[in-house]
Structure 1
Amino acid sequence: MGIRIVIADEHLIFSEALSKCFESVPGFEVVGAVGERSGVIPAASTGGAAVLVASEALIGQPWGLADEMRRRVPSCGIALIASRPNKALASRALEAGVLSVVPKEASLPQLIKAIRGVAAGARTISPDLLGPPEHVSMARTLNDRELEILRSTVTGASLKEISRELYLAPGTVRNLASSAIRKLTARNRFDAARIAREHGWI
């Protein structure tokens, strides 16, 4: 029996083009091509898919859809196509039940190999993306005050409001926020709070 595949990408033309490519791959059978998140689970369940090939935009952050796929269609493995995969993304994807993370610039043979691996229930992922995310070791150095500031940042509080809330001088809050940003290699305070929240540190 062939590998039944559903392709999901926000650009339907990409899904349809990939579907055409797979027609010439022995043992591959595309049973659905969808362009919206709402169509992913129905296509995978009704088509009896063994593998969902999905773009990061449709299955990725937030990872609720991947978690739901694991619950509702447990027989269907997920191969994620990511534009700029990194260790943090790969770590969270694997936690959500994704079995393969394939860079968007990968060749078709690489994607085909990944799909075969997912169909067999195996993780097929570049060794460069395995191991603890770069942020994890940095997060261990965050102190309690820095975590409190990031926790307040998630609520949308300004530096002045955080200063009042934590009974700290505004300059101290700015310094602590800058320290957290540096440790997490974040773009700004809000990006640092996002990183911390996604990893469950706050």
Structure 2
Amino acid sequence: MIKLVVAEDEQLMRDAVVSLLGMEPDLHIVGTAADGIDAVAAVREHRPDVALLDLEMPGMDGVQVVERLAAQALTLRCVIVTRHARPGVLRRALAAGVAGFVSKTVPAATLADVIRRVHRGGRYVDPELALTALDTRDSPLTDRELDVLRHVRPTATATDIAQAVNLAPGTVRNYLSSAMHKLGVHNRLEAADRARDHGWL
């Protein structure tokens, strides 16, 4: 019997996944969660064999959950499910040790098979998601622009970033402005998100 924790913030989707996977004779749902923080708590409490994690959840996203579990030395296999194939996220997930990366469009039987494969020690990446990850263009940003964007946070000022990268605040503003222009976005947070989504950061 494979013990599972299912983490999905949309209740209808979570209930559907639990119901469909619960019909598989070798899969046993031992816990559920509606956000990333509860997902970590559910894994700690129930010690499942596999965690099925939605990529986009409040609190922490699926990849951050995997990173937190690894930091706490909680040993299990993790599968990420997502609607959107963003190359940077896929690379981040694989680097974090995610064993499965699956589109939400797959049939329940396929998802069950992926869980079994992962439980046996295998890995699985949805072919369409993998293709998207390979089909990514080179970064138009300079190394300095990327370095500055790595330090962009919702509460970080240009002065904060300048201290982190050892540059003058005015120089940081120039790099941020240049990066925003190249990426066609309106603010520094969008620029950092765009760069991460493409796997440049």
Task: Judge same fold: TM > 0.5, yes or no.
Answer: yes
Question: In the TM superposition, what are the counterparts of 1:1-202 in structure 2 within 5 Å?
Answer: 2-58=1-57, 61=61, 63-72=63-72, 74-130=74-130, 133=133, 138-139=138-139, 142-144=141-143, 146-147=145-146, 150=149, 155-157=156-158, 165-166=170-171, 177-179=180-182, 181=183, 187-190=185-188, 191-196=190-195, 201=201
Q: What is the aligned length?
A: 190
Q: Distance in 2 between matches of 1:176 and 1:34?
A: 37
Q: What's the counterpart of residue 163 of structure 2?
A: none
**RMSD of the alignment, in Å?**
3.8
| Cα separation, partners in 2 of 1:135 and 1:175, compared to 1, 3 Å | farther
Q: Which one-letter code corresponds to 1:37 in the other structure? A: G
Compute the TM-score of the two structures, normalised by the length of structure 1.
0.72
Q: RCO higher in 1 or 2 (8 Å CA, sep ≥ 6)?
A: 2
Q: Distance in 1 between matches of 2:135 and 2:77?
A: 27
**Structure 1: 5+ residue stretches without partners:** none
CA deviations 1:115-160 (Å, max 9, x no partner) are 1122112211124434894697523x53355446646866454xxx
Q: Distance in 2 between matches of 1:135 and 1:163?
A: 36
**Structure 2: 5+ residue stretches without partners:** 159-166
Q: Which one-letter code corresponds to 2:120 in the other structure? A: A
| Cα separation, partners in 2 of 1:107 and 1:156, compared to 1, 3 Å | farther
Larger Rg: 1
SS in structure 1 at match of 2:115: helix
SS in structure 2 at match of 1:65: helix
Q: Contact between 2:148 and 2:172, CA under 8 Å: does it hold in 1?
A: no
Q: Contact between 1:53 and 1:79, CA under 8 Å: does it hold in 2?
A: yes
| Cα separation, partners in 2 of 1:120 and 1:177, compared to 1, 3 Å | same
Alignment identity in percent? 20
